[in-house]
A and B are shown apart, each in its own frame.
Chain A
């Protein structure tokens, strides 16, 4: 299964490191990554592959939300099909 992770919040040092540490720990592979600043906000999306992940979707989501709280950013994990369905014909 592939999913998108989106991270939005105030820019600071260590956001990517914080997120990727969770991914590495849970054997989640990053397929694509895109990061920008929207006004003063840090915004990042990652396309990730979950097929080798030993834990469930909800657990990864909880882990990401937890690290998001530590970093003071909002982190979401969503199945890629929701975006494909809405934005491709």
Chain B
């Protein structure tokens, strides 16, 4: 029998500590939508997405109503579009992005991910076309998210793609200049991208996945912070145990919602992503958890150690709570989407260099970081290269979602609205990386990737 305290604890987590299910994401394979005619392929894509995801939003809302736990987003991820579109003779894939946008609107989801290419070793015909189509695709659509995987521990880093992505980001920023370059907030450059990530903007449905899956991303930074508030001054053994127990409970809620959504939609359950995903709302911040551990402001010395402990404890607690764990799983540190991170940047405590160090121990990478609009493309590429190197050497996923805000500079802010938040513009290193990036070629896979 559940006791009174347990019931009140759950209700408090939801009401006061902002526990929610961040996303139910339906992954849909589009591999059977290839066609030599781009137009026919797009018809197949639209029909398939709208058929599979017809009831996704309604089922999400029903579960929210019956279980009393908010489910913030319902989303869709699809097979990397470069793989589907390149069967056609089209020379530009913007129309494919428009089809995804239309399908997403038809079923009522707020984002659709998978305008993507996997180019860690090189470009196939369609990969190049897709990458060149990204700026316009993100400018003319609202809900489409794009990602490009430029490196992996097994194949090294494709430095030609890294070079191209610096330019693609700049161009995307320019084409969406009227909205603080928001197009870049829908574009992630990955190393070691995962195939079952439910979180945007980096979600796509990998080629090794099944026909369709239900993947769920949990959240709950506020719950972890509240748990730590009850053990002020305790040692790290106690801190780690407390986070583990809290992560277990959060993840169990995610597993329940995932099972229920899968059952009602008649689509198999894929994974639960054990992530602490913050929002710009007060009380929903990862930075504030690190500060609760004893740091005056997030970003000061000790931040990397605090984040390492947090990330590890979240995984340890969450793994036992879910039958299949996947996605990115860990703590996210998106600057503009985290009220505490924004405050830390404004206080001068959190720099780009410290964030880079933090990405060595958290679940993703440099996320939602605004930099001056006049940052050279080669500097953006070099930032991507650094992150990709951290990823491939440490066998972890790293991503870069960086916004060179057109026409703005340090001291100003970019305002994206909603979950994407507000980003203070951070300075980048003023010395050039252009000659480094222009070399091209591939950085070889690290020696420890040869495990066979």
Contacts and interface: CB of A to CB of B under 8 A. Distances in A.
Interface of A: 4, 6, 32, 34, 36, 43, 45, 57-58, 61, 76-88
Interface of B: 1-2, 4, 6-11, 65-69, 249, 252-253, 255-256, 260
A32 B382 CA distance: 63
Contacts of B260: 81
Q: Would you call the interface of chain B mostly helix, strand, loop, or mixed?
A: helix
Contacts of A88: 2
Given A85-B253, A86-B253, A6 B6 contact: no
Given A57-B66, A82-B253, A82-B256, A76 B11 contact: yes
Given A45-B7, A83-B7, A83-B10, A76 B68 contact: yes
Given A6-B11, A85-B255, A87-B2, A79 B67 contact: yes
B255 A58 contact: no
Given A36-B4, A76-B11, A81-B256, A86 B66 contact: no
B112 to A, nearest CB: 28
A79 B66 contact: yes
23 contacts: A4-B2, A6-B11, A34-B4, A43-B8, A45-B7, A61-B65, A76-B11, A78-B68, A81-B260, A82-B69, A82-B256, A83-B2, A83-B10, A85-B252, A85-B255, A85-B256, A86-B9, A86-B249, A86-B252, A86-B253, A87-B6, A87-B9, A88-B2
A58 to B, nearest CB: 6
Nearest to A38: B8
A81 B67 contact: yes
B68 A77 contact: yes
Given A45-B7, A86-B6, A86-B10, A32 B1 contact: yes
Given A4-B7, A79-B66, A80-B2, 6 more contacts: A34-B4, A57-B66, A78-B67, A81-B256, A82-B253, A88-B2
Contact of B66 (A32, A36, A45, A78): A78
Contacts of A78: 66-68
A57 B4 CA distance: 22
Given A34-B4, A36-B4, A87-B249, A82 B65 contact: no
A82 B63 CA distance: 10
B65 A87 contact: no
B12 to A, nearest CB: 10
B168 to A, nearest CB: 43
Contacts of A43: 4, 8
B251 to A, nearest CB: 9
A77 B64 CA distance: 12
A76 B66 CA distance: 10
A6 B7 contact: yes
B191 to A, nearest CB: 35
Contact of A82 (B1, B4, B68): B68
